[in-house]
Amino acid sequence: MITLQHAYIVVGLMFLAFAVFTAMDRAHPTRIRNTLFWGLIAASMLFGDLLGGLGNGLLVVALVIVGAVGGKMAVGQPATTSLEERREAAERRGNALFVPALIIPLVAVGGTLLAKHTAPGAWLISSTQTTLIALGLGCLIALFAAMAWFRPPVLAPVQEGRRLMDAIGWATLLPQMLASLGAVFLAADVGGVVGELVSQAVPLTTPLLAVVAYCLGMALFTIVMGNAFAAFPVMTAAIGLPIVVHQFDGNPAIVCAIGMLAGFCGTLMTPMAANFNVVPANLLELPDRDAALNGVIRAQIPTALVMLGANIVLMYLLSFRF
């Protein structure tokens, strides 16, 4: 049976490969720092359950020191395929290039449904964190499909992967860090305090007001925190579960799923979500990354607002009818 531990092993081996190939790249401007950074992340993924609380805490401190000291982590330029080869392949295959990317969500959704509703799926995929496991399987299947179809150099996925991770740099850690912060806030009952303050400011006397408060709260808290995973436990404990679900009998699965999507709308509108919003600027190789980050966010705000409005409407229409 495939468990979440297997997914951690795969991710850990990926970061270990990044560390090894960075160490071998003598032309890399910050070779030692980047090797240490990716190596520490690999150690966390591979051996985190053996290190205990203190060991993992020290590892996080080491990551912060390595990422903070010495300025920005530089980007390696490994040799894989040339620009001309990539352009020629893109022109030849056209929109079919998106097929491997589409495999990932299809396998993630299909694998989750199979694991939940069929005996073979339940035997293959663990019932704990099923969606994350199915997502990992989708990534691996998409990788093998792309390798078989495009036939790049064997090491191209590792080399291009570490180039992209170098471009993101320390912000790679933000999802894990902010998700952990969300768990700390939940343990400290921040959600209860926020819920009390919201109830005092806005009387949530109708399902519509509760849905609007929950979705807007998810988006706004995500803008402050930089990650919907950090906002989710706080706002769900404050408004989602006690008011939308318990008080007005909303469907918890629909409320939580759409609530998370509302939080992602906030991700598109904040520089705090550097790990997400810096990627377009790096992929486009824009010269001024700080100005580019702000430009990316400005371009995303109209779409984010439209999506946020759509999420509010969908939650109101669906949550109390199914």
The pLDDT tens digits for 219-256 are 998 888 877 887 888 888 888 999 999 999 999 999 99
Task: Look at residue 212 in the predicted model and tell me its pLDDT.
Answer: 93
- Tell me the pLDDT band of 143, cut-offs 50, 70 and 90: very high
How many Å apart are CA 285 and CA 282, to the nearest integer? Answer: 5
Q: How confident is the model at residue 292 (pLDDT cuts 50, 70, 90)?
A: low
pLDDT of residue 258: 94
Task: Annotate 8-20 with b (16+ C-beta within 10 A) or e (fewer).
Answer: beebbebbbbbbb
C-beta separation of 320 from 249 below 8 A? yes
pLDDT score of 284 more than 80: no
> Please, which pLDDT band fits residue 116 given cuts at 50, 70 and 90?
confident
Q: Note the pLDDT of residue 309.
A: 96
pLDDT of 276 above 80: no
Q: Which tens digits make up the pLDDT trace of 163-199?
A: 888 888 887 887 777 777 777 777 777 777 777 777 7
Residue 283: pLDDT above 70? no
> Residue 158 is encoded by which pair of tokens?
């590792």
Amino acid found at 108 = A
3-state secondary structure 298-315: HHHHHHHHHHHHHHHHHH
Report pLDDT for 313: 96
The better pLDDT of the pair 171, 289 is held by: 171
- Whole-number pLDDT of residue 189: 76
pLDDT confidence band for 289 (50 / 70 / 90): low
- What residues are paired with 59 via a beta bridge? none
Q: Identify the pLDDT of residue 196.
A: 74
Share of the chain above pLDDT 90, in %: 33
Residue 82 confidence (pLDDT): 74
In which band, very low, low, confident or very high, does the pLDDT at 200 lie, cut at 50, 70 and 90?
Answer: confident
Say if residue 36's pLDDT is above 80. yes
Length reported for the chain? 322
State mean pLDDT over 87-91.
81
Three-class secondary structure of residue 2 per DSSP: strand
pLDDT surpasses 70 at 125:
yes
Range 194-213 average pLDDT: 82
| Confidence at residue 262, expressed as pLDDT on a 0 to 100 scale | 95
pLDDT in the model for residue 286: 63
Q: H helices of the chain, where?
A: 4-24, 31-68, 83-93, 99-117, 119-124, 130-150, 156-168, 174-187, 190-201, 207-225, 228-235, 252-267, 274-283, 289-318
In eight-state DSSP terms, residue 125 is B
The residue among 322 and 27 whose pLDDT is bigger is 27
pLDDT level of residue 260 (50, 70, 90 thresholds): very high
201: pLDDT strictly greater than 90 = no
pLDDT at 52 (0 to 100): 86
